[in-house]
């Protein structure tokens, strides 16, 4: 008997590792993760629409930071998008007000020709 592994042995070992880390679909764990991801994406999109005076990338980065902060505070599951939205909105309100003030200030300048 040889100590060399065959491709069949390697494939079985890989499959065994994958099975060990696979989510149990019977308990709905995979569906819960997919639903949470969808809710986070919808919330991010809603925020980018609400704060359309700000660059979308800035809004999305702010929401990503808010998700991280909400997770650090212990929010998980269905509470995570709600808590992250609340944190992001508090930050974005100030930015939107500054952006609006800047935009209004530049509109009032006379054109130079």
Contact 96, 51 (CB under 8 A): yes
What does the block give as tokens for 113?
A: 């020709």
Tens-of-pLDDT digits for all 113 residues of the chain? 556 656 666 666 666 554 544 444 334 467 888 999 999 999 999 999 999 999 999 999 999 999 999 999 999 999 999 999 999 999 999 887 777 665 555 555 566 65
Q: Would you list the DSSP string of 76-113?
A: -TTHHHHHHHHHHHHHHHHHHHHHHHHHHHHHTSPP--
DSSP state of 24: -
Whole-angstrom distance, CA of residue 99 vs CA of residue 88: 16
pLDDT of residue 100: 64
Contact 71, 111 (CB under 8 A): no
CB atoms within 10 A of CB 66: 25
Whole-angstrom distance, CA of residue 79 vs CA of residue 64: 15
């Amino acid at each position: 008997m040889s100590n060399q592994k065959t491709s069949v042995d390697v494939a079985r070992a890989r499959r065994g590792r994958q099975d060990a880390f696979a989510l149990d679909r019977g308990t709905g764990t995979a569906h819960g993760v997919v639903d949470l991801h969808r809710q986070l994406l919808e919330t991010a999109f809603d925020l980018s629409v609400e704060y359309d005076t700000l660059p979308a990338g800035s809004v999305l980065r702010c929401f990503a930071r808010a998700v991280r902060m909400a997770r650090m505070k212990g929010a998980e599951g269905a509470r995570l998008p709600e808590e992250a939205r609340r944190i992001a909105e508090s930050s974005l309100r100030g930015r939107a007000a500054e952006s609006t003030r800047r935009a209004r200030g530049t509109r009032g300048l006379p054109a130079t020709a």
